[in-house]
Amino acid sequence: MIRDWLDSANAAGDRLNNAAYGPLPEQLATLHNDFEKIHPFIDGNGRAGRLVLNLLLVRLGYPPVVIMKQQRPVYLSAMQRADDGDPGLLGELLARAMLDNLNRFILPSVARPARLVPLAALVDERFSIAALRQAAQRGRLDAFQGADGVWRSSRRAVDDYARTKGQRRKGE
């Protein structure tokens, strides 16, 4: 069984870049779920499966995914649906996790202080996404909302906001 999965995973590079096999997230979901169905270890199958999935993603040039603890119920439900032949929800969860990971870990490390990035990429120990969004909506954080609905700002703007937070502004 594991040999069959390995053969499938090794062939994934050609399949994953070919739309004829379906959307990339659903293909990844199917591959991930197929590994989990084998259940090769006594303990740690989920962690091992996500690690193998991330190895595949990185080798294919995509960012790794992180399934957060609070996403566990949705993840398990998505795995169950994939077991029943519907990889859509799991594929969506993986795609969103990949995008969130990009915003949370990768964009901040490559964004220059003045480069505009989604607010999610600017979250740190000082400010949550909710706090940054609220500051942007109130005009206290130099940010703008794009046509896609995503608020964007810069590290420099967040640092400026942190320095002035709690101070009264003129006219207040």
pLDDT in tens, 29-77: 999 999 999 988 889 888 999 999 999 888 888 889 999 889 999 999 9
pTM of the model: 0.65
Residues 58 and 129 in one domain: no
Q: Which two tokens stand for residue 129?
A: 């996404």
3-state helix, strand, coil in the chain (%, to 5): 65, 5, 35
Tokens of 166: 């709690």
Residue of 1, 11, 39, 55 with catalytic role: 39
pLDDT band, residue 106 (cuts 50/70/90): confident
User: Is 32 tagged catalytic?
Assistant: no
Q: Is 116 exposed, middle or buried (0-12, 13-18, 19+ CB in 10 A)?
A: middle
pLDDT at residue 117 tops 80: yes
Last residue of a domain, one of 65, 91, 110: 110
Domain span including residue 157: 117-164
Residues 74, 155 share a domain: no
Q: Is the pLDDT of residue 127 over 70?
A: yes
